[in-house]
Amino acid sequence: MTATRPVIEANRRGKREQIIDAAKQVLARDGLAACTARAVADASPLTKSAVHYYFDDIHQIVDIAMREHVAAMVTGLRQAADGESDPAGKLWAVVDAYLATFAAQPNAAFLWFEYWIDTGRRQSADAIAATVEDIRVLLDELAARLPVDDPAVTADALLSWLLGTVVQQQIRPKSSTRLRHELNSIIHNTTG
């Protein structure tokens, strides 16, 4: 009887992963508003009833799916940094890769903003804070290798700039040269 418990748990984990993977597809393709239990079920081999059985509500699914989207993005950003040798080059590679993600997939920017608004409306700041923290930690690690007085302050400034730049790039894109100038300005303004 105890031998079946691990099998049941593995099956449960597998079903939950299928649901999250389907939600990630729906979110990336159609956005937050389209990510319903029905849409997730349609994108998976499971039924709408199964979606409700394995998760409390669609918000729980969306939160996990968004967290996984950001985790994958951070993994890609870390790989971009690993491709450079000097600290400033690592930071620029991360910034460039971050902005390139949203430039190549404009819907990703809209999804990100929709998710922020949604978590705010449902007073679930912890969900968005967790995703932002992953990026802030990476920026803090990179800033710690730069000649700045306080890497945490620099990381916070960089994160704010990145978030604002994603919005600006959707409306009025700036050149890579201009972005690099702004980035350097942030770094120099956070040194003593």
The 3 state secondary structure assigned to the chain is: CCCHHHHHHHHHHHHHHHHHHHHHHHHHHHCCCCCCHHHHHHCCCCCHHHHHHHCCCHHHHHHHHHHHHHHHHHHHHHHHHHCCCCHHHHHHHHHHHHHHHHHHCHHHHHHHHHHHHHHHHCCCHHHHHHHHHHHHHHHHHHHCCCCCCCHHHHHHHHHHHHHHHHHHHHHCCCCHHHHHHHHHHHHHHCCC
Average pLDDT over residues 137-147: 95
Amino acid at 63: D
User: For residue 191, what pLDDT is reported?
Assistant: 58
Predicted confidence (pLDDT) per residue in 60-106, tens digit: 999 999 999 999 999 999 999 999 999 999 999 999 999 999 988 88
Give the pLDDT band of residue 126 (cuts 50, 70, 90). confident
pLDDT at 130 over 70: yes
Model-wide pTM > 0.85? yes
Amino acid at 79: Q
Give the pLDDT band of residue 2 (cuts 50, 70, 90). low
Mean pLDDT rounded to a whole number for the chain: 92
Predicted confidence (pLDDT) per residue in 150-173, tens digit: 999 999 999 999 999 998 998 899
Contact between 69 and 114 (Cβ < 8 Å): no
Average pLDDT over residues 113-124: 91
